[in-house]
Amino acid sequence: MSDQRSVVHLLRHGEVHNPEGVLYGRLPGYRLSERGEQMAEMAAEALSGHDIAAVIASPMERAQQTAEPIARVHGTSIITEPLAIEADNVFEGQRVSVGDGVLKQPRTWRHLWNPFQPSWGEPYNDVAARMREAIENARRSADGREAVLVSHQLPIWIARLDAEGRRLWHDPRSRQCTLASLTSLTFEGDQLMSIAYTEPARALLPGASPIAGA
């Protein structure tokens, strides 16, 4: 087994323009907001001094946009990775916040019977399996250097739980995966050695202090 050190940075996309407040999931046409574009630039700046060999992104527009400034800084093109796409969800296009929207409608309750799978969307085991493959593809692309893989909150969090050997079902409020955050996996050969988490765009997160990140 090769003992080369490689790093795969799982980068969540930046803020999305979503004035209707719907669960956009895999729906087309959801682009980064102006603040989201700034977040992408901040992530690119945080990675500017790294030895990036590959910039890889989910096919969703917001992920491709987040990858663009990183690819530009490192003089490379974006590789599209279908395995890193957002998780499927039956509530796409609807409001799902607590207290309003589709979850108040009895007709939707048939989708809520099993939160451990979950019954309303792509099974966590399936998300973990495809993200495991996407990360391995990225590690091979890094080839002893570093790769950036732009994905989405749920797939990144499931990938981390899977890598740490933790249960996959969870309270969504517990996810450590803010907008434009980096979950960095360091490998020696094909063995995962450590996981680090950083928030390059912390200063732009909703509710952040004006001096956050200073």
Q: In CATH, which of 3.40.50.1240, 3.30.450.20, 3.40.50.300, 3.40.109.10 is domain 5-19+32-88+123-204?
A: 3.40.50.1240
Q: What percent of the chain has pLDDT over 90?
A: 74
Does residue 206 have a pLDDT over 90?
no
Cα three-residue angle 44-59-4, rounded to 5 degrees: 55
| DSSP helix, strand, coil percent of the chain (3-state; round to 5) | 35, 20, 45
Q: Give the domain ranges of the chain.
A: 5-19+32-88+123-204
Provide the pLDDT confidence category of residue 94 given band limits of 50, 70 and 90: confident
Does the pLDDT of residue 100 top 90, yes or no? no
